[in-house]
């Protein structure tokens, strides 16, 4: 009989890597969406909120490209322009996007309820915190300043233009782990509200927790969510949770306020030798 032995980490979680919009601030992820709508409008091409949201979580230039190349938007583009979208069009739109996004970020920077409590819980557990994002550095610097004014200050952050490729590539998560000096990968959790968030965490070898209600999948701000009938809120949350679970999330919860028991469960699984 042959015996196989597997080396396993049996400690607790050391690091939490969080997204921004839809996870810790900007309930419903409105800041980028309103700008995507305006950028395409400037080209004479109208897009819907759903089309603007579809690639959410990616580097914003790649996000623009994905919107433009979607079948419905591509058809509208050809109708207006008489040709396919070109690389130069993406560059032009991204040049428009950056100042428009910078101008409106602060308006959508309110922390999501539970964010400060989650940060305090991480610190009580001696976990370090980092953030990854589809925003570029100039954008995330605005977000960081607004967050700090409200008492939210992660230990480090990596922007989409500071790594070889944005989500779902794992580079930003790995760079955070290097900066925080936390390892192995299974000692970290990636928390976010989009499919690319989940892909990023999985590709980095980390546990992933998806937030269904506060993020891009439901796409409603806190006031709009409160106005929903209970059964409609449940329906929208369930549909969002199913999409995020199908993307491979280890856990799906409504919002950041639901994290503590999930972290406890992951720590129990780590103690028994499980990996993501």
Domain end marker among 89, 107, 125: 107
Number of domains observed in the structure of the chain: 2
Domain end marker among 84, 107, 130: 107
Say if residue 64 is in the same domain as residue 39: yes
Is residue 185 within 8 A of residue 11, CB to CB? The reply is: no
Give the global pTM.
0.93
Q: Has 96 been annotated as catalytic?
A: no
Say if residue 21 is in the same domain as residue 84: no
Query: Phi-psi region for residue 7, left (φ > 0), alpha (ψ -120 to 50) or beta?
Result: beta
Say if residue 162 is in the same domain as residue 266: yes
User: Dihedral of CA 229/232/234/236: which sign?
Assistant: negative
CA angle 242, 62, 166 (to 5 degrees): 75
Closest CA to 36 of 134, 122, 115, 109: 134
The span from the CA of 142 to the CA of 96, in Å, is 17
Is residue 217 situated within a structural domain? yes
Range of the domain at 58: 31-107
Q: Has 60 been annotated as catalytic?
A: yes
Angle between helices 60-69 and 87-104 (to 10 degrees): 130
Which token pair is 152? Answer: 């939210």
Is residue 10 situated within a structural domain? no
Say if residue 260 is in the same domain as residue 131: yes
Catalytic residue among 14, 26, 60, 197: 60
* pLDDT by position in tens, the chain (length 276): 587 778 899 999 999 999 999 999 999 999 999 999 999 999 999 999 999 999 998 889 999 999 999 999 999 999 999 999 999 999 999 999 999 999 999 999 999 999 999 999 999 999 999 999 999 999 999 999 999 999 999 999 999 999 999 999 999 999 999 999 999 999 999 999 999 999 999 999 999 999 999 999 999 999 999 999 999 999 999 999 999 999 999 999 999 999 999 999 999 999 999 999
* Domain CATH number, residue 132: 3.40.50.1000
* Domain CATH number, residue 60: 1.10.150.240
Catalytic residue among 19, 89, 155, 197: 19
Which token pair is 174? Answer: 């790995």
């Amino acid at each position: 009989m042959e015996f196989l032995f597997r080396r396993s980490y049996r400690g607790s979680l050391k690091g939490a890597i969080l997204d921004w919009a839809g996870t810790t601030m900007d309930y419903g992820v409105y800041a980028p969406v309103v700008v995507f709508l305006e950028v395409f409008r400037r080209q004479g091409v109208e897009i819907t909120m759903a089309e603007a949201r579809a690639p959410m979580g990616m580097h914003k230039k790649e996000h623009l490209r994905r919107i433009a190349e979607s079948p419905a938007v591509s058809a509208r583009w050809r109708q207006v322009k008489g040709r396919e979208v070109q690389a130069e069009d993406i560059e032009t739109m991204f040049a428009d996007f950056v100042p428009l996004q910078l101008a409106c970020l602060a308006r959508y920077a309110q922390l999501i309820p539970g964010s400060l409590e989650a940060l305090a819980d991480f610190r009580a557990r001696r976990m370090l915190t980092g953030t990854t994002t589809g925003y570029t550095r100039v954008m995330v610097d605005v977000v960081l300043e607004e967050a700090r004014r409200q008492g939210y200050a992660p230990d480090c952050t990596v922007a989409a233009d500071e790594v070889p490729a944005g989500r779902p590539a794992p580079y930003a998560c790995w760079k955070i782990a290097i900066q925080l000096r936390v390892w192995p990968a299974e000692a970290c959790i990636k928390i976010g509200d989009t499919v690319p968030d989940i892909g990023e965490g999985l590709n980095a070898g980390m546990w992933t927790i998806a937030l269904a209600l506060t993020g891009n999948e439901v796409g409603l701000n806190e006031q709009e969510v409160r106005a929903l009938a209970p059964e409609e809120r449940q329906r929208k949350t369930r549909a969002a949770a199913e999409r995020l679970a199908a993307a491979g999330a280890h856990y799906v919860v409504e919002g950041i306020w639901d994290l503590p028991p999930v972290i406890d469960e992951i720590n129990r699984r780590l103690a028994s030798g499980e990996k993501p």
